[in-house]
Amino acid sequence: MTPEDFRKHGHELIDMIAEYLEGVAEQRIVPDIDPGDVRAMLPEHPPTEPESWESVMADVERVVVPTITHWQHPNWFAYFPSNTSYPSILGELLSAGLGVQGMSWVTSPACTEIETLMLDWMQELLDLPDRFRSTSEHGGGVIQGSASEAALVAILAARWRATDAAVNADGDTGRLTAYTTSQAHSSVEKGLRIAGIGSDRIRIVDHDDEFAMSPSALAAAVDADVAAGLVPFFVCSTHGTTSSLAFDPTDAVADICAERRIWLHVDAAMSGIAALAPEYRWVNAGVDRADSYATNPHKWMGVNFDCTLFWTADRAALLGALSILPEYLRSQAAESGRAIDYRDWQVPLGRRFRALKLWFTIRLDGVESIRERIRRDVSLTQDLASWVGDDDRFEIVAPHPLNLLCLRLDDGNEATDALIDAVNSAGNSHVTRTVLDGRSALRVSIGARTTEREHVDAFWAELARLTPAAS
């Protein structure tokens, strides 16, 4: 491709993206296809000669757009949102265009320093503790690819600290025990497994009727392990669980962790972003006592995937666990102690210039408009909750302080599952099923950028129509 072609097709591509996003409501939200159908629409073997831009774009229109799941659709109520925004898309494009690889300060100073600045901006905007700031004595923040990677690096730092660094030499994790609830995201167990902590060493702590961790159950589990000669080393407290948006009581959990010097990680993957609006700052209660914390602008802030913010108050443990310095990565800047090498804060070596999309979003859309979208989503969820609550066919099965509503039919699991299937099969909106203490529930998660009142009204009308009369 020549530079002239790049300019021309680049403009065409931006037009195509804008048209897609402006018209996304017209798409069938989830394609009606079977596994293998997409591949069958494309040639089995690679081309031997370069093709034209037009033929590639024709396949984008013919094959790609009709067979993706439309996460930006206004009736997207499944999982959690993965919303995006125009400034973020442009920031992503610029990152690809500049093509830098920011593994260390010296490999692209702006990539590192703008990222550090963004973490400090976000610490301020979310009103997180000062001990997470890059200028604090022991803390700092970094962009990870996902909340799963954030949990993993927290576990690795915790493992290093609990073994006084010995794990780096002997790899022995045999006596370490970790704690979370059945409501925590599966990435916590996956991270523990990767770190050599098998399921026999993971304690699933009881939760209360609102799906939040029971501090007394945590204390009892920790005490029993200590009495058995084991070493409690890691607790994950979730702020906004995936199934039902429950909030673990981090303050009380922190008391237990402090007593035994257990690493406390707070996973606030979606909900943490709500703290951009001052009235929702409660979502981060207790975080000032955590060793690490993660939240995802790629869920609810309009920054497209991937962008997880991870802060720690103990960067020495993180660096102890993750820095390895071969000769070819040495630099004067790092050795002077004045520069951050983010490769030591994450699992991979290489890293993209992800801070650009956050920087663009904050500067171009502005924080106030993001706050307004968060408020809108919460308010739409509360309206839906009041309509559901007034209809005696439904039961609301979990507290719903923000933008997730979990409901079920009084008639039981089968009826609830049938309703979920009916909603999704109708193809106008998309919801996810979960199971809460053995009971099926339909999750309605509101957070796509394009969702407005009319979409929630239409969703409610359809839900009410598809629900059988109370028996």
Report the residue from 120, 267, 314, 377 that binds ligand PLP according to the rule CB under 6 A: 267
Q: How far apart are CA 191 and CA 151, in angstroms?
A: 6
Give the Cα separation of 91 and 101 in Å (integer).
15
147 binds ligand PLP (CB under 6 A): yes
By CB under 6 A, tell whether 250 contacts ligand PLP: no
CB of 205 to ligand PLP, least distance (A): 16
Query: Total residues contacting ligand PLP (rule CB under 6 A)?
Result: 15
Q: HEC profile for the chain? A: CCHHHHHHHHHHHHHHHHHHHHCHHHCCCCCCCCCCHHHHCCCCCCCCCCCCHHHHHHHHHHHHHHHCCCCCCCCECCCCCCCCCHHHHHHHHHHHHHCCCCCCHHHCHHHHHHHHHHHHHHHHHCCCCHHHCCCCCCCEEEEECCHHHHHHHHHHHHHHHHCCCCHHHHCCCCCEEEEEECCCCHHHHHHHHHCCCCHHHEEEECECCCCCECHHHHHHHHHHHHHCCCEEEEEEEEECCCCCCCECCHHHHHHHHHHHCCEEEEECCCHHHHHHCHHHHHHHCCHHHCCEEEECHHHHCCCCCCCEEEEECCHHHHHHHHCCCCHHHCCHHHHCCCCCCHHHHCCCCCCCCCHHHHHHHHHHHCHHHHHHHHHHHHHHHHHHHHHHHCCCCEEECCCCCCCEEEEEECCCHHHHHHHHHHHHHHCCCECEEEEECCEEEEEEECCCCCCCHHHHHHHHHHHHHHCCCCC
Task: Pick the closer one to ligand PLP by CB: 187 or 381.
Answer: 187
Please name which of 269, 274, 284 lies closest in space to residue 154, comparing C-alpha atoms. 269
Out of 148, 284, 312, 434, point to the residue binding ligand PLP (CB under 6 A): 148
Does residue number 432 form part of the binding site for ligand PLP (CB under 6 A)? no
Which residue, 186 or 332, is less far from ligand PLP as judged by CB?
Answer: 186
Decide: is 207 part of the binding site for ligand PLP (CB under 6 A).
Answer: no
**Any contact of residue 238 with ligand PLP (CB under 6 A)?**
yes
Q: How far is the CB of 209 from ligand PLP (least distance, A)?
A: 20
Nearer to ligand PLP, 250 or 308 (CB): 308
Convert residues 100-139 into a mask of x (bound to ligand PLP by CB under 6 A) and - (unbound): ----------------------------------------
- Binding residues for ligand PLP restricted to 73-92, rule: CB under 6 A: 80
Which residue of 75, 95, 104, 146 would you call a contact of ligand PLP, by CB under 6 A?
A: 146
Contacts of ligand PLP in 398-417 (CB under 6 A): none
For the bound state, the minimum distance from the C-beta of residue 331 to ligand PLP, rounded and expressed in Å, comes to 30
Binding mask 295-334 for ligand PLP (x = CB under 6 A): -x-----------x--------------------------
Q: Does 269 interact with ligand PLP (rule: CB under 6 A)?
A: yes
300 or 353: CB nearest ligand PLP: 300
Helix axes 453-466, 413-426, angle to 10 degrees: 130
Q: How far is the CB of 253 from ligand PLP (least distance, A)?
A: 16
Q: Does 443 bind ligand PLP (CB under 6 A)?
A: no
> Shortest Cβ distance from residue 239 to ligand PLP (Å)?
8
Decide if residue 183 touches ligand PLP (CB under 6 A).
no
Which residue's Cβ has the minimum distance to ligand PLP? Answer: 146
92 versus 267: smaller Cβ distance to ligand PLP: 267
Residue 274 near ligand PLP by CB under 6 A: no
Q: Give min distance, CB of 447 to ligand PLP, in A.
A: 11
CB of 269 to ligand PLP, least distance (A): 3
Which residues here bind ligand PLP, judged by CB under 6 A?
A: 80, 146-148, 185, 187, 238, 240-242, 267, 269-270, 296, 308
